[in-house]
Structure 1
């Protein structure tokens, strides 16, 4: 792994270096070097404990208008599939634009390297009673297969547009534009709902910490909503006016994350000796009492797997640094493969640390504070001040997650609109030349998330329906790519990283895993739920509605404006 780190960091030393030639963006604009952030991405994307950000410098040479890229040269490969040389939808071409003088959007704009670790912490309460450490281990290995299949696409088409471009290349000629549109639509919605989930979870954790510090305080829905809006507002301010400080924030966060991880891993295990004691290894790995759901062991195992799957991040996130790497077709697949493999150590280690501390399972599964890890820390650490410090460590880490989620969501939507997609592409695809930020997409993210989380004041179950859409939207985004790859496996362009004969099997396995996760995503956590709607997941009704909106957007404007500058061969 050390060789991989050195290899990737060495590739970043030239700033931007695309597939065809090299260009040092940071040196030209006098910006801070971006090397540490590549290291951040490799480490933090690989661990569900962390949240990450990547700084992808962009290649100069394009205006914000929807015009054809002069480097979009169609190349017919030996397999007979069109491959576009040097294609990137993120570049600029107006040499007189103020954006070219200093471009924080280009140098500090996050396109989507986010691991939604905060969902994993909430999911621990269910994972511990629905499969324990084995569910986490199985989920990590399965996620590695999904990342591996997508890594092959990244090597074939190493562009910042990620799934949007993969769909265009893999789908049949008549379906290229429409298929790419719907993949980009579902991906944009996936990032948007991930932002909401991040901020709502942090809001509940802040309210839970307040309740822990003051037993007389009872958190109310309006309090959680107000905290949520405050988090969204602060994130929006930073993403609008503090983009130049993003490098410093991310560098500081790297140290914070690494130190915090070891604090969380070591302190409970050390303190448990004098507080709750240790659980025997045999009980940790073989005790069937972990299944407290009432379901059979297999169903409970799969529900536990689905419950924490969102904690492993958005697989295509790393593709958005394609212009930053010297050899994106080689380096990015390496990082995508290593990310879940490192999670195999870090996430499983955290889960085992929880299990080896002899805290009653029911304490974490049915948390009195609503925040399972606070009750876990209270039982193991046994010191109110120590628990508060450890919770603050995690809350800050997750605040950065919210910041990056909002930034990722706004950049993903901006990219989609820049190609003529989404509603009002002429507005959402515009860059403010003064702030050098896609202001409208940041504001849209803030208003949309703040408005939709008003559901907290009426029905938290209704809000959870939207927050739990990530698994289904992931299937809508990546499922069609795997199907298209299986159908035309012998014909599509192969990059330096190729799965070879194993590709067909890996793509089928990844598709089956995604389908299984989505199916069990809808199961109630408790078999004897007795009509308790809060224990069920109704996003099976929401996701079709979201995709129907995409269909309306396609017929309203997308079919006339989306990717019209691309040649269909």
Structure 2
């Protein structure tokens, strides 16, 4: 970046990335909490879910995953176990739903027929709805923030990035295909949660709960991974004096931790605050966490724009350097980011109603205001950029 805007742009990008991670963590925390109570309600129809229950479960899961992310030696073991559970769960869902389904969608229904109840044109409805499936490919930059903890990062990090896309794509396709091919007619106004869809397909509560529990484990595991991710972002920003209390947040705790424990607690505290917002207003909370994906896209796009402006040849090339393929990937990513920023802010249905409105655009403005405020009140005086990846 040009020297005149280098520090400010670096700080803004880092804060966008960190806030995106915190919002994503809050989303995973609530998803796991609601999923647990969904099982209870499914097995006990007389049970009535209250928002405070989800809030309490949210904070408990937040604390548990904080503890599990504090020990450096446990990270590789937990990661491998979660990868196995994730891949196995996708395969089990695929096989089980096809084996237990009593009816299947015809090829015409699956590939051609469009059921659109949003009020938007089909193309716009597709783009708005794609935000859901994009979550299977989010958090891609997590591994890049573990560069100091991974052997041979110049080769292993690109491999991890590419395999994350492959695993996320294949597992997502398996689950989506098995659900849509085998689901009976979907009631747009009914309960279409995953657990209920599994029950509609299999006709068995035991089967539905049996394949839903491993998915819940994966969601909790994702929350643990996000705790690690957001803490490393916080730690990196603190090492460059970007946060108040950076002297503490930038430290690595001694054995048996060997992790930035205070940064873990700092980031998790913001997730806990987001949970308090859920207790006050579910609509406000959903709008806030919905920005997680867009904030990630914006943080990815900023360095790519600078890369293209300065020239891709101006930077040191790593082992995985593909001039044409890399340029195409950069352009596609920038194009998709612009599409996502526009369409993910659209109302989910038209005519729009206040209680069902999409307030992501308003939240993005609040995020921009927050970052500008902390930059002018603290970051501009203290933040420093220590390293530039130039030839």
Q: Secondary structure, in 3 states, of the residue corresponding to 1:468?
A: helix
Aligned ranges 1:233-244 → 2 under 5 Å? 233-240=63-70, 242-244=71-73
The Cα offsets for residues 237-271 of structure 1, whole Å up to 9 and x where unpaired, read as 2234x554444433433333333222111001110
Q: Quick one: distance in 2 between partners of 1:182 and 1:545?
A: 14
Q: Secondary structure, in 3 states, of the residue corresponding to 2:41?
A: helix
Aligned ranges 1:418-497 → 2 under 5 Å? 418-433=239-254, 435-489=257-311, 491-495=313-317, 496-497=319-320
Aligned position for 1:556: 377
Distance change in 2, residues 1:340/1:252 (3 Å): closer
Q: Does 1:278 align with 2:104?
A: yes
> Is the contact made by 2:8 and 2:380 (CA closer than 8 Å) also made in structure 1?
yes
- Of 210, 229, 235, the match for 1:389: 210
Q: Does 1:351 align with 2:180?
A: no
Q: Quick one: distance in 2 between partners of 1:245 and 1:322?
A: 17
Displacement after TM superposition at 1:566 (Å): 5.0
Distance change in 2, residues 1:244/1:327 (3 Å): closer
- Of 366, 390, 401, the match for 2:222: 401
Q: Secondary structure, in 3 states, of the residue corresponding to 1:437?
A: coil
Aligned ranges 1:179-328 → 2 under 5 Å? 179-240=9-70, 242-272=71-101, 275=102, 277-288=103-114, 290-323=115-148, 328=153
Displacement after TM superposition at 1:367 (Å): 4.4
Q: Quick one: distance in 1 between partners of 2:112 and 2:167?
A: 24
Structure number with higher helix proportion: 2
Q: Quick one: distance in 1 between partners of 2:320 and 2:270?
A: 39
Q: Quick one: distance in 2 between partners of 1:447 and 1:480?
A: 27
Q: Quick one: distance in 1 between partners of 2:304 and 2:206?
A: 49
Q: Quick one: distance in 2 between partners of 1:522 and 1:230?
A: 31
Distance change in 2, residues 1:568/1:256 (3 Å): closer
Q: Secondary structure, in 3 states, of the residue corresponding to 2:358?
A: coil
Tell me which moved more, 449-458 or 223-232. 449-458
> Is the contact made by 2:234 and 2:267 (CA closer than 8 Å) also made in structure 1?
no
Q: How many pairs does the alignment contain?
A: 388
> Is the contact made by 1:471 and 1:521 (CA closer than 8 Å) also made in structure 2?
no
Distance change in 2, residues 1:332/1:250 (3 Å): closer
Q: Quick one: distance in 2 between partners of 1:244 and 1:326?
A: 14
Distance change in 2, residues 1:391/1:196 (3 Å): same
Q: Does 1:510 align with 2:333?
A: yes
Q: Quick one: distance in 2 between partners of 1:366 and 1:210?
A: 22
> Is the contact made by 1:468 and 1:537 (CA closer than 8 Å) also made in structure 2?
no
> Is the contact made by 1:522 and 1:537 (CA closer than 8 Å) also made in structure 2?
yes
> Is the contact made by 1:306 and 1:518 (CA closer than 8 Å) also made in structure 2?
no
Q: Quick one: distance in 2 between partners of 1:259 and 1:341?
A: 15
Q: Quick one: distance in 2 between partners of 1:239 and 1:476?
A: 27
Unaligned runs of 5+ in 1: 1-170
Q: Secondary structure, in 3 states, of the residue corresponding to 2:69?
A: helix
Aligned position for 1:544: 365
Q: Quick one: distance in 1 between partners of 2:211 and 2:41?
A: 16
The Cα offsets for residues 351-379 of structure 1, whole Å up to 9 and x where unpaired, read as 111111042122xx5442xx611111111
> Could you state the TM-score of these two structures normalised by the residue count of structure 1?
0.63
Aligned position for 2:165: 340
Q: Does 1:174 align with 2:7?
A: no
> Is the contact made by 2:146 and 2:232 (CA closer than 8 Å) also made in structure 1?
no
Q: Quick one: distance in 1 between partners of 2:302 and 2:314?
A: 15
Displacement after TM superposition at 1:321 (Å): 4.4
Tell me which moved more, 328-337 or 554-563. 328-337
The Cα offsets for residues 10-52 of structure 1, whole Å up to 9 and x where unpaired, read as xxxxxxxxxxxxxxxxxxxxxxxxxxxxxxxxxxxxxxxxxxx
Distance change in 2, residues 1:568/1:312 (3 Å): closer
Displacement after TM superposition at 1:325 (Å): 6.0
Q: Secondary structure, in 3 states, of the residue corresponding to 1:430?
A: coil
Displacement after TM superposition at 1:318 (Å): 2.9
> Is the contact made by 1:225 and 1:456 (CA closer than 8 Å) also made in structure 2?
yes
Displacement after TM superposition at 1:490 (Å): 5.3
Q: Quick one: distance in 1 between partners of 2:269 and 2:153?
A: 35
> Could you state the TM-score of these two structures normalised by the residue count of structure 2?
0.90
Q: Quick one: distance in 1 between partners of 2:90 and 2:149?
A: 28
The Cα offsets for residues 371-419 of structure 1, whole Å up to 9 and x where unpaired, read as 6111111112222222222221111111111112112211211121112
Q: Secondary structure, in 3 states, of the residue corresponding to 1:175?
A: helix
Q: Quick one: distance in 2 between partners of 1:349 and 1:567?
A: 41
> Is the contact made by 1:367 and 1:375 (CA closer than 8 Å) also made in structure 2?
no
